[in-house]
């Protein structure tokens, strides 16, 4: 990623004029872009199809529990600039993510560490870990038999630790925004104008000097070369007593490494240490993406990679007045810190 040539209009008297920049999408990428451009003196406005801010990181209070509407989100990074940027808008608590896997050996800590070996009473070699933890989970997640999964996915495992560290992320900075993600986004947006619940083409009729686009790149081009494939998730939220199987003080998520139809079960009350008798659990069920669900994981391999690199990426690069940012517009899975970083880097050259 390098700074882009984001040429500014000149008005003769001033060396640099203020731009009107419209931003499509009010997720983390769009909001970060709005702040950075506003900080540089430009006028920004955000257009969002959903009835709420925050994109997939959105959370909401249901009773006394802060529910992650689109599945478990945990902030982690080693990037100090990203960390400092978000700390302008929220404090983070000291939540450390620990994940257990529901396997035929029982509930075990993952990634596989010496602690896991202790839990099951023996060490496992890489092939055994692959079978126990990764095969079923990955097949369900991608809807593809293990043997046919691209090496970019199956080659990432097994992730084995030669120590007793049972933290899921080992990044220097981690935690959850103390009042949740939506509260953080509200602070970030401050007086930035946002139009919620607009139609997907609303941005097309609005005048601006430049456009930041964080929606699906294939939708921007009206699916001219066909649809980019995504895997989607269906989320199920339900009440459960706090002393259920899935609730534990040591972390919020259990991965289902078995033939259950759902990937994970998470206890929403754990992230902010909410003191409740009854909690809300969330399960995510993988399914193929179509017009009735959300594009969640880009299938950026095989035909998806060919279509993106061969067509949409090139077309996006030649749009002089539009900058494509975020996971949908760059067709790449981005953790939250990566989404912020991508925007920072791409807008570096803008004055
Ligand atoms: C299940 C799940 C779990 C995750 N867990 C983690 C985690 O633990 N840690 C982590 O760091 N990251 C996690 N992530 C990644 C995180 O969600 C992303 O980094 C982040 O959402 C990226 O923000 P974005 O703005 O690029 O995309 P989005 O959040 O998708 O925002 C894009 C926005 O654009 C809007 N939009 C699209 N098209 C249009 C249009 N035509 N007009 C107007 N608006 C439009 C969409 O409605 C959406 O609100 C997870 C993601 C998922 C799906």
Structure confidence by residue, pLDDT tens digits, 95-136: 999 999 999 999 999 999 999 999 999 999 999 999 999 999
Residue 223, pLDDT > 80, answer yes
Answer for the pair 214, 339: CB distance below 8 angstroms, yes or no.
no
Verify whether ligand 1 is closer than 6 Å to residue 26 (CB atom).
yes
Ligand 1 geometric centre to CA of 27 (Å): 6
Specify the pTM. Answer: 0.94
Ligand 1 nearest-atom number relative to CA 29: 25
Residue 245 — pLDDT band, cuts 50, 70, 90?
low
pLDDT digit string, tens, across residues 283-328: 999 999 999 999 999 999 999 999 999 999 999 999 999 999 999 9
What percentage of the chain exceeds 90 in pLDDT? 86
Residue 153 — pLDDT band, cuts 50, 70, 90?
confident
Ligand 1 nearest-atom number relative to CA 337: 11
Ligand 1 geometric centre to CA of 120 (Å): 37
Ligand 1 geometric centre to CA of 49 (Å): 13
Verify whether ligand 1 is closer than 6 Å to residue 57 (CB atom).
yes
CA 299 to chain CA mean position, Å: 15
Domains and CATH numbers, the chain: 20-98+175-239+293-346 (3.40.50.720), 99-154 (no CATH)
The single residue listed with the structure tokens 């494939």 is 229
Interval 204-218 mean pLDDT: 96
pLDDT digit string, tens, across residues 3-29: 344 444 433 333 356 899 999 999 999
Residues near 183 by beta carbon (within 8 Å), at least 6 away in sequence? 90, 177
Residue 158 — pLDDT band, cuts 50, 70, 90?
low
Verify whether ligand 1 is closer than 6 Å to residue 340 (CB atom).
no
Verify whether ligand 1 is closer than 6 Å to residue 50 (CB atom).
yes
Verify whether ligand 1 is closer than 6 Å to residue 29 (CB atom).
yes
State how far the alpha carbon of 133 is from the alpha carbons of 116, 258, 267, in Å: 12, 8, 21
Residue 199, pLDDT > 70, answer yes
Ligand 1 nearest-atom number relative to CA 325: 26
Alpha-carbon span 22 to 92, nearest angstrom: 30
Ligand 1 nearest-atom number relative to CA 202: 42
* Pocket residue to mutate for ligand 1, from 336, 340, 346, most atoms within 8 A of Cβ: 336
Residue 349 — pLDDT band, cuts 50, 70, 90?
confident
Letter string b/e over residues 269-285, b meaning 16 or more CB atoms within 10 A of that residue's CB: bbbbebeeeebbbbbbe
Alpha-carbon span 38 to 42, nearest angstrom: 5
């Amino acid at each position: 990623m390098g700074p882009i040539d984001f040429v500014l209009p000149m008005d003769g008297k001033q060396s640099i004029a203020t731009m009107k920049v419209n931003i499509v999408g009010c997720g983390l990428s769009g909001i970060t872009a709005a702040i950075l451009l506003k900080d540089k003196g430009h006028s920004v406005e955000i257009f969002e199809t959903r009835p709420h801010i925050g994109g997939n990181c959105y959370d909401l209070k249901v009773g006394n529990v802060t529910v992650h509407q689109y599945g478990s989100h945990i902030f982690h990074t080693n990037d100090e600039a990203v960390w400092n940027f978000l700390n302008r808008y929220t404090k983070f608590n000291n939540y450390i993510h620990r994940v257990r896997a529901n396997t035929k050996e029982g509930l075990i800590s993952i990634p596989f560490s010496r602690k896991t070996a202790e839990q099951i009473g023996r060490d496992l070699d890489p092939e055994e870990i692959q079978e126990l933890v990764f095969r079923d989970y990955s097949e369900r997640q991608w809807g593809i038999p293990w043997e046919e999964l691209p090496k970019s996915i199956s080659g990432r495992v097994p992730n084995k630790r030669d120590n007793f560290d049972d933290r899921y992320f080992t990044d220097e900075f981690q935690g959850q925004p103390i009042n949740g993600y939506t509260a953080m986004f509200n602070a970030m947006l401050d007086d930035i104008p946002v139009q919620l619940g607009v139609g997907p083409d609303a941005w097309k009729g609005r005048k601006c000097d430049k456009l930041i686009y964080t929606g699906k790149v294939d939708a921007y081009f009206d699916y001219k070369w066909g649809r980019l494939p995504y895997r989607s998730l269906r989320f199920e939220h339900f009440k459960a007593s706090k002393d259920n199987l899935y609730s534990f003080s040591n972390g919020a998520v259990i991965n289902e490494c078995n033939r259950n139809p759902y990937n994970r079960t998470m206890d929403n009350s754990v992230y902010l240490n909410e003191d409740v008798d009854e909690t809300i659990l969330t399960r995510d069920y993988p399914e193929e993406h179509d017009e009735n669900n959300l594009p969640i994981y880009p299938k950026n391999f095989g035909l998806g990679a060919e279509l993106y690199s061969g067509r949409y990426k090139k077309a996006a690069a030649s749009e002089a007045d539009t900058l494509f940012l975020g996971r949908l517009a760059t067709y790449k899975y981005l953790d939250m810190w990566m989404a912020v970083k991508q925007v920072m880097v791409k807008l570096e050259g803008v004055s």
